[in-house]
Amino acid sequence: MTRAVPLVALAAASLAMDIGIARLGYGLTLPAIKAELPGSFGLYGAIATLHLGSYLAGSLMAPMVLRRLSWRAAFVLAHLLVAAGMLAQSYASTVESLAVVRVILGVAGGMGVLFAIGSALEAVAPPRRMAASAVMWTGVALGMVLS
């Protein structure tokens, strides 16, 4: 149980970043993006759709990654990619580069969420998993507030 508490807290922080900030925070940045880059809100909506599709792809790829890497290595790699993607997004100078970054963020975020939740729930005793899941998913709301 001593290992479970920090993993649940880390998973909540991960969901705050992966979903609350990197995924849902995109909508908050659209006015600033539109002011800097050419294109309509429809175009930026299409980029958001690419991101969501790549999130699904990352979720589906996660089991293949876990066949090659440990939970810890997969978690760290996915979240390094999310952090790098968030940084790269701030430097995107074209609509195309923004789209590429959003796809990378989607794949990394999709994997990162599964790695965070899976590794934390493995460390939690079965009777406590529902409560742990509630704490982890509260991280999304925290990320939205921080956004």
Strands (E), the chain: none
73 residue type, one letter = A
Give the mean model confidence (pLDDT) for residues 1-18.
88
Q: Using CA atoms, how far apart are residues 105 and 108, in angstroms rounded to an integer?
A: 5
Alpha-carbon distances of 13 from 24, 45, 46, 95, 109, rounded to whole Å: 15, 26, 28, 29, 13
**Mean per-residue pLDDT over the chain, rounded:** 93
Q: Using CA atoms, how far apart are residues 88 and 9, in angstroms rounded to an integer?
A: 26
Q: Using CA atoms, how far apart are residues 103 and 96, in angstroms rounded to an integer?
A: 11
Q: What is the pLDDT of residue 138?
A: 95
Give the mean model confidence (pLDDT) for residues 100-107.
96
Question: Which alpha helices (H) appear in 1-147, and where do they start and end?
Answer: 4-15, 25-36, 41-68, 71-90, 95-123, 129-146
Neighbours of 17 (CB within 10 A): 24
Region of poorest pLDDT, from 11-15, 22-26, 79-83: 22-26
Give the predicted TM-score (pTM) of the model: 0.90
Asked if the model's pLDDT at residue 24 lies above 90, the reply is no
Neighbours of 117 (CB within 10 A): 20
